[in-house]
Structure 1
Amino acid sequence: MTILACLALALALLPAVLALANLLALRRPPGAPAPDGLVSILIPARNEAANIRPTLEAALAGTGVPIEVIVADDHSTDATAAIVAEIAARDPRLRLIAVPPLPAGWTGKNHACHVLGQAATGRHLLFIDADVRLAPGGAAALAGATAKAALVSGVPRQVTGSWGERLTVPMINFVLLGYLPIPLMRRLMDPGLGAACGQIVMVEAEAYRRVGGHGAIRASLHDGVRLPRVFRRAGLRTDLVAATDLATCRMYTDFSQAWAGFSKNAHEGMATPRALPVWTLLLGGGHVLPLLLVIAALLGADGLPLAAAALALSLATRAAITLATREDPWTIALHPLTVALALALQWNALLRPRRAGVATWKGRTYPAA
């Protein structure tokens, strides 16, 4: 038990150190003042009638930089297009375009973003999901950050309304800030260090088109991982900034949506035969094992001081990230369960029987990777 407690403490120490370095790095200003030139805010939308109006109102209220807003209606069967058309009739900065039928070999979001990229006229392209609400200065701040990188992203403040969301969504910031060495990412051009949050991505238009844009990742379901790597392979810098004050997003409304949403791109993230055992050791050993060892020690096993230290360090790391990103603080105490659920989701995605279509999203089924 003492050996396991030592291992748990070491595995909890790694994300604690990385989180400290990352939070210090992300406190820096995102970049230079917003440059001159139009920013195109680009929104792929498929059956987003419940989200699109507040998203457009927030985007059109942007300050600090001239904008155009383009919505690509991707064969919606609800009132998405009608809502956009109604607002566009009042504001000439907003355009509605229709997405052509999905070609073979493309995923829906990447195809819609590709169409948006072709229609945009801005010097900078800001891709946002239809559930992202930009702060008034959000687009300008991200455009300013491109002074140091051709692609800039960040995690919006995650809004969670149900316990199913609160037990799953916080893993985005925890994995990103606890396991990606952001200072090293900024120094090295290694594609493997590239990362973004697909909810909000700002790119220089010329660089985006030069590397092939979303067409370069047409079959991917995980643009947040794939697109920055395309830029880095082309010798272009990518960066992450603190986006908590730049935008908000409510990704899902309950546990079943969150499970399905995170499962759809698991095979392009952790859920691979080589990566998932490593992630299970890192996450399970550093954040689930300490609680189990504390319980065992309270029942008579040895190693309580080390196990308690590992658990305290794990919870302190989660608390620092949660408070810095302004997520729900009531979820901190449930951190071991959140990690256990995340690992269960990834293992389920890896081990479930493969069918011809491995992921269904927004009414479309995509072939196994």
Structure 2
Amino acid sequence: MTRVETYILYAYAAIILIWPLRWIALKIILGQDRPLTPDSPRLASAAHPLVSAIIPAKDEEAMLDECLSAVRAQEYPDLEILIVDDRSQDRTLEIARRHEAADPRIRVLQNDRLPPGWTGKTYVLHRHSASARGEWLWFLDADVKPEPGFLNVMLEYARSNNAALVSVLPELRCETFWEQVVQPLAGIVLMTSFPPRKINDDACPLAFANGQSILVTRAAYDAAGGHRAVRDRFVEDIGMAQKVKGLGMPIRLGITKGLISCRMYASLGQLVRGWSRIFFDALDRKPWRLLLKLLDPLVFCQSGHVVLLVAMGMLGSGRGGVFAWWLLGLSLAHHALMYAVFRLVYDVSVPDSKYVATFPLGNLITDYILIRAIWMCFTGKVAWRGTSYDASISQTGDREADEAAAGV
């Protein structure tokens, strides 16, 4: 082998070495962070504050019935449920009304506008949280399915940690091929920016919450400025967590197992649009932060795919000799180590996943999602839930929003 070929092998071996280190780090983290389960401690029966579940729903006919059935089945005695239909064009309102007729704890509210300066979800929650009577506000998405013991476990989790806001990472329900392939990898890209251990460290300013299910005290919500304070965010959950933690109030993020699940997106198009929006806003709409996230898979994942193809091409054409065989061996070791790490990653979000071996395809799609998010930083355009936004939406529309909230 030539000196250049030797240097190439050394450089590639250095890239590969990151993977056993990542495996060890993941094993340590997963071993220390015990998940919340249905068997986790529950709130004492004598200390049940009123909880107001608030569920915004825009064209959610596919998921709302299952979500409401699960919320109604909570083993928690002091619960009111507010469903806000946000200008839906499908059967969402019909489904909500049916549950309202069957359960006196449910109130169905309707939103008919979106003032300038607000994203759709933030306005709906700002306007209708005024109708909630609970000491705790439980904001949850219509695509989640909490198990019956969820509220008792989460309130005890909040009490034992003296937390003003608690959120969770649900298990993902992935029913299509693309969900199985992309969701775990997209999730790990986000969580590497918001490690749960740092989120749960009161001395660390980093904050995160998952809007699929957030429990926050009314006092903390009001002190943080409510959803008015995050009115222009596309990931209002992270913004809310930042506001609460910024006031010196503890927040907590729990990993769950068998306690709550969520089906975020049902098609490849929804996956791409949804995760592009999340990455764009979660990383502060800064292209350089998104570019750094893109460089990681390009250097440490895609390099393995490229080297494998190059080595096979060289050997297939009868060229390369010992150098090609070394490339082939290293690339196979690279893929084996990546598989071991991604096995852990997939199992956290999609237990017993049978699609771990598809991670090279998932890498490519995640790359595209990150590139799309970078492009959003330059175009300033975001489309979601049938609404097109200019990402530079101004902090306006307060008077109309306040009047609507007062009218509620």
Distance 1:367 1:177 in 2: 26
Letter paired with 1:257 = Q
Letter paired with 2:180 = R
Structure-2 change in CA distance of 1:6 and 1:230 (3 Å): farther
| Cα deviation digits, residues 43-80 of structure 1 (max 9, x gap) | 00112122211111110001145211111111122222
1:247 to 260, 280, 291: 260
Distance 1:203 1:304 in 2: 53
| 1:324 equivalent in structure 2 | 348
1:346 to 347, 350, 370: 370
Letter paired with 1:143 = L
Runs of 4+ in structure 1 off by over 6 angstroms are: none
Letter paired with 1:279 = K
SS of the aligned residue for 1:50 comes to coil
- Pair 1:268-2:281 in alignment: yes
| Cα deviation digits, residues 93-114 of structure 1 (max 9, x gap) | 1111122521211100111122
Instruction: Indicate conservation of the 8 Å contact 1:44/1:73, yes or no.
Output: yes
- Pair 1:97-2:109 in alignment: yes
Deviation at 1:115, TM superposition (A): 2.6
**RMSD in angstroms over aligned alpha carbons?**
2.5
Distance 1:231 1:17 in 2: 33
Unaligned 5+ runs, structure 2: 1-7, 315-323, 393-408
Structure-2 change in CA distance of 1:307 and 1:184 (3 Å): farther
Distance 1:365 1:228 in 2: 25
| 1:83 equivalent in structure 2 | 95
Distance 1:52 1:106 in 2: 24
Instruction: Indicate conservation of the 8 Å contact 2:56/2:85, yes or no.
Output: yes
Letter paired with 1:325 = S
Distance 1:123 1:5 in 2: 56
Deviation at 1:258, TM superposition (A): 1.2
Distance 2:216 2:33 in 1: 19
| 1:358 equivalent in structure 2 | 381
| 1:55 equivalent in structure 2 | 67
Structure-2 change in CA distance of 1:57 and 1:354 (3 Å): same
| 2:181 equivalent in structure 1 | 167
Structure-2 change in CA distance of 1:345 and 1:173 (3 Å): closer
Distance 1:177 1:351 in 2: 22
SS of the aligned residue for 1:170 comes to helix
Distance 1:277 1:63 in 2: 45
| Cα deviation digits, residues 193-241 of structure 1 (max 9, x gap) | 3222221212122111111122211101012432221222111222211
Structure-2 change in CA distance of 1:185 and 1:266 (3 Å): closer
| 1:292 equivalent in structure 2 | 306
Question: Bigger CA drift: 307-316 or 163-172?
Answer: 307-316
Distance 2:59 2:128 in 1: 17
| Cα deviation digits, residues 137-192 of structure 1 (max 9, x gap) | 1122122221212222122221122222222211244235556443333224433x
Deviation at 1:276, TM superposition (A): 2.1
Letter paired with 2:208 = A
SS of the aligned residue for 1:48 comes to coil
- Pair 1:210-2:217 in alignment: no
1:333 to 340, 348, 357: 357
| 1:12 equivalent in structure 2 | 19
| Cα deviation digits, residues 262-311 of structure 1 (max 9, x gap) | 22333213563221232123233233223333444454163555544443
Structure-2 change in CA distance of 1:198 and 1:63 (3 Å): same
Structure-2 change in CA distance of 1:56 and 1:210 (3 Å): same
- Pair 1:313-2:337 in alignment: yes
Distance 1:363 1:216 in 2: 24
Structure-2 change in CA distance of 1:43 and 1:353 (3 Å): closer
Structure-2 change in CA distance of 1:363 and 1:184 (3 Å): closer
2:269 to 256, 260, 266: 256
Structure-2 change in CA distance of 1:237 and 1:13 (3 Å): farther
Instruction: Indicate conservation of the 8 Å contact 2:83/2:107, yes or no.
Output: yes
Distance 2:50 2:341 in 1: 40
Structure-2 change in CA distance of 1:13 and 1:350 (3 Å): same
SS of the aligned residue for 1:120 comes to coil
Distance 1:265 1:332 in 2: 23
Structure-2 change in CA distance of 1:22 and 1:111 (3 Å): farther
Structure-2 change in CA distance of 1:83 and 1:367 (3 Å): same
Distance 2:63 2:129 in 1: 22
The alignment covers a number of residue pairs equal to 367
SS of the aligned residue for 2:169 comes to coil
Distance 2:237 2:290 in 1: 18
TM-score normalized by the length of structure 1: 0.89
Letter paired with 2:62 = A
| 2:239 equivalent in structure 1 | 226
Instruction: Indicate conservation of the 8 Å contact 1:75/1:98, yes or no.
Output: yes
| Cα deviation digits, residues 238-271 of structure 1 (max 9, x gap) | 2211233222221222111211222233321356
| Cα deviation digits, residues 306-333 of structure 1 (max 9, x gap) | 5444433322121112223334622211
Structure having the higher Rg: 2
SS of the aligned residue for 1:330 comes to coil
| 1:23 equivalent in structure 2 | 30
SS of the aligned residue for 1:187 comes to coil
